[in-house]
Amino acid sequence: MERTLSLIKPDGVEKGLIGEVIKRFEKSNLKIVAMKKLHLTQTEAEGFYAVHKERPFFGSLVEFMTSGPIVALVLEGDNAIKRNRDIMGATNKDEAEEGTIRKDFATNIEKNVVHGSDAPETAVTEICYFFNSFEIAC
Ligand code: IDP
Ligand code: MG
């Protein structure tokens, strides 16, 4: 069993895709063990994406991620990190596989509907960034 952090980004919430995204996770047998809707502050968004702070798109990414509410989820299942990434599709929708969330719903490389942890270490850090132990149902 593995856990991963998923975010439905402001564009996904704005487009009314919360239910659609959750349906895809549940259909794929990823169990939702925590979930909340929140609106990131600038400092919170900068902290979450700190690994990208030297990238040219960092400022725009932080502005986008603070532009509206998001939904944070913890997904659990066998190989959950990779399976979630497969359901999401590539960062750039033009490179994403057919039937993935990003291929179906992303606007562009930035406004790409969902975030998913990329490795076991980042999954733990990212889950703890959004949830404490009382908020995660086993
Ligand atoms: P990922 O979300 O697929 O893991 P990362 O490379 O970790 O992709 O980038 C984090 C987020 O930063 C992306 O999901 C996207 O919103 C944004 N981003 C990545 N590359 C670019 C870019 O070249 N231009 C604008 N935004 C980008
Ligand atoms: Mg990433």
Q: Ligand 1 pocket, 110 CB below 6 A?
A: yes
Q: Ligand 1 pocket, 79 CB below 6 A?
A: no
Tell me the CA end-to-end span of the chain in Å, nearest whole number.
Answer: 11
pLDDT digits (tens, 9 = 90+) for 82-100: 999 999 999 999 999 999 9
pLDDT digits (tens, 9 = 90+) for 9-58: 999 999 999 999 999 999 999 999 999 999 999 999 999 999 999 999 99
CA–CA separation, 91 and 1 (whole Å): 25
Catalytic (active site) residue 39: no
Smallest CA-to-CA distance from 85 within 25, 126, 133, 29 is with: 25
Residues 6 or more apart whose CB falls under 8 angstroms from that of 63 comprise none
Q: Is 75 helix (H, G, I), strand (E, B) or coil?
A: strand
CA–CA separation, 135 and 138 (whole Å): 10
Contact 32, 75 (CB under 8 A): yes
**Interval between CA 137 and ligand 2 midpoint (Å):** 25
Q: Ligand 1 pocket, 118 CB below 6 A?
A: yes
